[in-house]
């Protein structure tokens, strides 16, 4: 019963939740959490294809790279969020719309 489709299904749900989170949350931290969900959905896909698609260990290694990258991304993104807070006195991403000016 543990077939490739099952994993892909789970990963798709996770991805959709992530995208939904990124698009709808106003809190910057929550947006970042959505991004983490998207990345992990991709990880699941990598590992699943690695297991069922005959890709040996390459998929695992990619997954590890993604985890490391996610950590780095989180560090940079949180720094950005702190800067947004310093500038706008809020971490609400809707209010950081100075770019259109």
Partner 1 sequence: MDNIFIIYSLLILFLPLAAFVIQIFFGKKLPREGDWVSVGAISITLILAISMFVMMLLEYNPDFRHEASFTWLDMGAFSIDLGFLVDNITVIMLLVVALISTCTHIFSIKYLAGDIRYSRYFAYLGLFTFSMNGIVLANNLISMYMFWELVGVSSYLLIGHWFEKDSAADASKKAFLTNRVGDIGFFIGIMLLYTAVGSFTFTDIFNGVANGMIAGTALTFAGIGLFLGAMGKSSQFPLHIWLPDAMEGPTPVSALMHAATMVAAGVYLSVRIFPILTPDALLVVAYVGGFTALFAATIAVTQNDIKKVLAYSTVSQLGYMILAVGTGVYTAAFFHLLTHAMFKANLFYGSGSVIHSMHHALHEKHDHETDPQDMRNMGGFKDRMPITYWSMLLSTFAISGVPLFSGFLSKDAILAGSLSFAQHHPEHFLLPVFGFGAAAITAFYMFRMMFLTFHGKPEMPELIEDIHESPKEMAGPLVLLGTLSIFIWYTLPYLNPLSSHGWFTHLVVPIDSVVPGNPSAHSIEEGAHHAHGLAMYISIGVATLGIGLSVLMYLKKVLSAETWRNRAGFMYDWSLNKYYFDENYDKYLYQPTLRLAKKIAWIDWELYDKYFINGFGRVTSWASRVTGKFDYNIIDQIMVDGFGRIVDNLGGTLKKVQTGRLQNYLLYVTAGIIILMIIQSF
Q: Which parts of this chain interact with partner 1 (CB under 8 A)? A: 19, 22-24, 31, 93-94, 96-101
In whole angstroms, the minimum distance from the beta carbon of 80 to partner 1 comes to: 11
Helix, strand, coil fractions of the chain, as percent rounded to 5 = 80, 0, 20
Q: What are phi and psi of 27, to 5 degrees?
A: -75, 125
Of the two residues 58 and 95, which places its CB atom closer to partner 1 in the complex?
95
CA 86 to centroid of chain Cα atoms? 24
In whole angstroms, the minimum distance from the beta carbon of 96 to partner 1 comes to: 8
In whole angstroms, the minimum distance from the beta carbon of 93 to partner 1 comes to: 6
């Amino acid at each position: 019963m543990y077939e490739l489709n099952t994993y892909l299904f789970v990963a798709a749900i996770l991805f959709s939740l992530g995208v939904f989170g990124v698009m709808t949350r106003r809190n910057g931290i929550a947006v970042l959490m959505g991004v983490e969900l998207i990345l992990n959905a991709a990880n699941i896909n990598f590992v699943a294809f690695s297991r069922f698609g005959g890709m040996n260990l390459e998929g695992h290694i990619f997954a590890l790279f993604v985890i490391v990258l996610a950590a780095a991304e989180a560090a940079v993104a949180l720094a950005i969020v702190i800067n947004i807070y310093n500038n706008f006195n809020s971490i609400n991403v809707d209010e950081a719309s100075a770019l259109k000016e």
